[in-house]
Structure formats: structure tokens, C-alpha cells
Amino acid sequence: MVYEKECTKCATKLKDEIVCLSLDGWSNIHNEPIICATVTTSNGHIYLVDTTDTSGQPHTAEYLAELSESVIQKCKEELGCHVGSVVTDNAANVNKMRKLLEHGNELKLVTYGCTAQILNLLARDLEIGNIKEHVVYIVKYFRNNHYASARYRQEGGQRLVMPQDARWNTMCNCLKIYIKNWPVLMTIWEVDREQIDVRVREMVSNLTLKRSAENLLARLEPIAVALDIVQNDKCTIAEAVNIWKELITTLCNDRDAVTAAKKRFDQVITQAHLLANLIHPSFQGKLLSAEEVNNAMDYANEKFPSLVPVIMKLHQIVSFPFV
């Protein structure tokens, strides 16, 4: 009864909306594989529309495509909304699934991978060897060792953060707090030498390790800022393009970071992103290269030909070979 009432409420709010479908896999408390489907409206409101127990089913692209089509049909028939786009993570099977959906004969969909996940992967790309392991070792010691933890609090140290793979930006927060409280750790190192683990003493007093941690933080902080923005409920794919462009500019003094960021940009930014950025009234494709504008126009000509003359007039494009 409650379930039916909630479904009715959702249908009322979603009626005639054009929504973005999100799919992701989880394990429930019984360790059963569950795929959750949610839809996001243009106002950033999110609704859970379906959960599927996939026990015994291989998560092939074909199976996931069938599942997605079923959810899309449910949205249309039961909730009265139209799925215009699909976003997933960037695993190989779901990448293939998105292609199957986008190139299907009946469905007219825009599909793309999750920008936030790719930013998190970029942060991992830029990790400096052994720095994470050493800093985590120190943090874990001062969190878990009773004497060290008590002395750390006594000296006024801030709560240390342990990085977690499932919680993005925690590595950045870990480094930030470690560096800020490094003088506290040094004070304990000097006053309580005999009570602190020898290996921890060596790491805390290692200036090379501290400098490397600062360098790693300098790499990760711009990514953390970008991640916070793209995880906003109302962030659009048009805005995501500018976020990536600005991030690459911010990293310009770090050649390796720029190379890695451009590679991830090419992985996640599609022609749909470029077109959305080009026609967005605030962005108008101002940060796009000439090649990217052409890619956006190619996509518009293929998917939305009636839109091409409007775009050409808006941007005063003199000629376009495919029109």
C-alpha cells in the first residue's frame, strides 16, 4: 500500500518530464547483486524507479542493454516520463551497453559515462609512488595507537582522515590534514621519541616525504574542486566540459598531469558534451577548439539536423560542409 502510494507520487512529479537514467550496481546486506535505476529531472531531483536482483545473470553488455530498455519502457508506461539520456560508470561492459542503446533503431538516446568517476580515476593516475602508503601508515598509527592518539589530541591535532576508495576526495583530505598537522607530529616525535614506533619516527621526520606529500596535494586539490562541482545535483554535461577545460589549464605547469588529464578528457567527453556546451547560453562553446566545434556540429548534423541552421546562425558559422 505504501509502495503504491509512493509510486503514484513519483508518477505525478515525473509526468511529461524528460529525464536522465542512471544505472549502477550494488550488493545488498545479503551480498546479492542489485542494479539500481534512478532518474534525474532537469531540476536536479532524483527518483529511484527500479531495483533488479541480477543473481545468476552475467553482466554482459547485451543483458544490461535489455535491462535498461525495460526500465526505459517502465518510465514511459508507469511514470509518464521520457528518458532522453543514460549515464553509467565507465566499465567496459557498460561502455558497450551504452553504445548498443545509442545505436538502437527505436531509442533516440544520448549516452555517456560518469565524469565524477573519471575525475577520481585521474586523481589515482597522478598519485606519486609510495607517498600514499607512507602517509596512510602514519595516519593509521596516530589514529589507532592509544598513546600516540592521546598525545596527538593533547597537542591539539585535528582529526586525521583515512582515505577510502569508495569516498572520493578522501585522499586529498588525508594529505591536507596531515600536512597542516605535521608540526604537531614533529613535536610528538621530538618529545616522545622512545614511545613512538621507530618506523613512524623515521617517516614523520623525513622532509622528502613531506615535500612529496605537498606536491601530491597540489596535484589533487584542483581535481577535488572539480569533483565537488560535478557531483552537484544540477551540474550539466555542458558545464562538465568547462570544468575539464579549466582543470587542464590549472594543471598547466605539471606536464604529466596535463597529459593524464587530456587523456581522461578524451575518454569521458563525448560529441554530445561538446554540442551541449556549444549551444549553452552561458558557455557558447567559448573554450572549445575549432576541432571540437566541428565535432559538435558533426554530431548535431547526424542526430539533430533541424538544429544545425540555428547553431550556425547563433555562432555565425559561415560554412559547414555537411549541411
CB 113 within 8 A of CB 95: yes
DSSP-derived letter for residue 158 is P
pLDDT in tens, the chain (323 residues): 687 787 788 888 889 999 999 998 888 888 889 999 999 998 888 999 999 999 888 889 999 999 999 999 999 999 999 999 999 999 999 999 999 988 875 667 899 999 999 999 999 999 888 899 999 999 999 999 999 999 999 999 999 999 987 788 899 999 999 999 999 999 999 999 899 999 999 999 999 999 999 999 999 999 999 999 999 888 999 999 999 999 999 999 999 999 999 999 999 999 999 999 999 999 999 999 999 999 999 999 988 898 888 888 877 654 454 44
Distance (Å, rounded) from C-alpha 42 to C-alpha 194? Answer: 60
3-state secondary structure 177-214: HHHHCHHHHHHHHHHCHHHCCHHHHHHHCCHHHHHHHH
Listed residue (275, 247, 285) closest to 119, CA to CA? 247
Q: pTM for the complete prediction?
A: 0.86
Query: Pairing relation of β-strands 33-40 and 18-27?
Result: antiparallel
For residue 204, give the C-alpha cell: 614523520
Angular region, 113: left φ>0, alpha ψ -120 to 50, beta rest: beta
Spell out the residues 6+ positions from residue 61 whose beta carbon is closer than 8 angstroms to its own: 93, 94, 95, 96, 97, 99, 100
pLDDT value at residue 106: 66
DSSP-derived letter for residue 307 is G
The number of helices, as runs of H, and strands, as runs of E, in the chain is 15, 5
Domains within the chain, CATH numbers bracketed = 2-113 (3.30.420), 126-224 (no CATH), 227-315 (no CATH)
Q: How many CA atoms lie within 13 A of 190 on its CB side?
A: 7
